[in-house]
Amino acid sequence: MRMIRPPKRVIVESSVAQGQLVALLRKNLPGATFEIVDEICENRLHDPDILEVADFKGKFLKSCPGTRHYHCCGYMILNFGTQCTLGCSYCILQNYLNQPNLRLFGNLDNMFSELSDVLTQNHARLHRIGTGEFTDSLLLDPFTELSRLLVPYFASAPNAVLELKTKTDFVENLLELDHKGHTVVAWSLNSAEIRRSEEPFTASIEKRLDAARLCAEKGYFLAFHFDPIIDYPGWKSGYAKTLEQLFSKVDPSRIVWISLGALRFMPELKDTLRSRHALSRIAFGEFIRGLDGKMRYFRDIRSELFSFMVERIRQADPDLCVYLCMESDDIWKESLGFSPEERGGLGRMLDCALEERMNVRPF
């Protein structure tokens, strides 16, 4: 298992300095210096050796930021930190966040209290909750052991399922936990060529799939997200090879869903790519501005990408839940042969996948 470089300095706001998270960091980062401050300065420059632990004042649990123009899955995001050091060229965080360093939220008691309030108030609803919007779900898990807190919590929540999404192979903390079938471990996947050129500090595709196999052996159900799928010379053979590796290492019956999303980005990301990833050519394809303001591949390109992937996945498991991330009815019908509304909406499709494969129901 490839370990990231441990932070050398941990800057902690005094109001959370005695909390459980900081205690775990002190245990797992014996070589780091801990600096206690009243408030973390927001104008710090990027320093890969710094980890910040802040007292978060906002809402920990939010709805996935979809748009009315495209189908959204109704996912909820549990935010425990921000930023990522995996260096993916296409990452939206480069233009989205105004603080440059890895940051964790140290007031975990508030996070779990808010989570409990939401689940209790909406007890008849099945909640799909993920942690991978503003950071990788497992990037810092070797140091935080946060999965050892989250997975048991969700194991006791009858109306909720946790999805941990990662590009790492940091699953050691998960393997001996009693998850009771309420945690889905998920990986973002791509072709090996794109992994090498655009995701430089992530685990290899083979290592991600080896980690997925280990989790499946421990009873976890899995999910995979091909997002972004990127159009490049040889993309068909590249993605076909990844799918072949996936289904040779993982029993399809252990997979709850696979999502597909084509490369899309806000226009300003092109300048970021030029300045930070000069060798990347991914933003110079055939794009048009979508209804959400993002640059998207032309419709026929997206349809071809998705149709190819769906056909290969169906060969492995005709009944596996496959869905498109942030796409319109037309693309759904061209690629999958139906619209989400024909099956009760995308959210209902995913709820059904949980019920059928994992036997998870809210009551």
The CA distance from 170 to 174, in Å, is 9
pTM (predicted TM-score): 0.95
The CA distance from 35 to 12, in Å, is 6
CB–CB of 141/147 below 8 Å? yes
Highest mean pLDDT among 45-49, 249-253, 274-278: 249-253
- Total count of residues recorded for the chain: 363
The class level of CATH for 59-87+108-358 reads: alpha beta
Q: Which element (helix H / strand E) includes 57? A: none
Task: Report the pLDDT value the prediction gives residue 1, as an integer from 0 to 100.
Answer: 45
Q: What is the mean pLDDT of residues 245-264?
A: 97
Q: Which element (helix H / strand E) includes 210? A: helix 205-217
Within 13 Å, how many C-alpha atoms sit on residue 246's CB side?
29
Mean pLDDT, the chain, rounded, equals 92
CB–CB of 19/108 below 8 Å? yes
The CA distance from 228 to 59, in Å, is 28
What lies within 8 Å, CB to CB, of 155 at 6+ separation is 177, 178, 179, 180, 182, 183
CA 48 vs. chain centroid, Å, equals 21
Nearest to 132 by CA among 197, 227, 254: 227
Task: Report the pLDDT value the prediction gives residue 69, as an integer from 0 to 100.
Answer: 58
Cis-peptide, bond into residue 228, ω within 30° of zero? yes
- DSSP class of residue 46 equals P
Percent of the chain with pLDDT over 70: 95
The CA distance from 345 to 172, in Å, is 36
Residue extents of the structural domains in the chain: 59-87+108-358
| Crossing angle between the packed helical segments 299-316 and 235-249, to the nearest 10 degrees | 30
pLDDT digits (tens, 9 = 90+) for 141-172: 999 999 999 999 999 999 999 999 999 999 99
Backbone phi and psi for residue 264, each to the nearest 5 degrees, phi listed first: -150, 150
Task: Report the pLDDT value the prediction gives residue 100, as an integer from 0 to 100.
Answer: 82
Nearest to 258 by CA among 353, 128, 146: 353
